[in-house]
Amino acid sequence: MIKPASLSLLKQELASRPPKEVLEICLKLAKYKKDNKELLSYLLFDADNEVEFLKSVKAEIESQFSEINTTHLYFARKSIRKILRTTNKYIRYAGKKHIEAELLICFCASLKDSGIAFQSVTSLSNLYTNQLHKIRKAISLLHEDLQFDYQEELKTL
């Protein structure tokens, strides 16, 4: 099995290559894995406009919650986990704590408003509690003014 090179070595190698070759490498990466393509799309089109990015991701989260099959708890649990995976993927792409707080607050609020009795299911209750802990941790790393605003939103959850 091929051992991947370190990040610093990759950075040095990319810096030494001509721009056209770096472009080809990026396109090849995007071609073979959906996550790479999504990350590249975020970096090129959405990273500069965080407000629109947040709006579109929140709309997607709310849309996915509205489509959950609530007749069977098994399917609801699977759908909730899938929505959380998608949310975490967007959080990783952005890499900013205020975006993490916003998206997790949206996720928890949507879960709470979905009408699913998640409190009665241990796994879902734990999932919800863990997200609240992540929100608190992300908020604690923000500027004091932002902390106050997010704390107010957190209280409603």
The string of pLDDT tens digits covering residues 39-96 is: 989 998 988 999 999 999 999 999 999 999 888 888 999 999 999 999 999 999 999 9
Question: From residue 117, how far is each of 9, 71, 73, 79, 133 by CA, in Å?
Answer: 50, 12, 9, 14, 20
Average pLDDT (9-25) is 92
- Label residue 105 by pLDDT band (50, 70, 90): very high
Alpha helices in the chain (DSSP H): 7-16, 19-32, 34-41, 50-66, 73-94, 97-113, 122-140, 144-156
Alpha carbon 78 to chain centroid, angstroms = 17
Give me the domain span that covers residue 12.
8-48
122 and 58 in one domain?
yes
In a domain, 90, yes or no: yes
pTM of the model: 0.86
Would you say residue 92 lies in a domain? yes
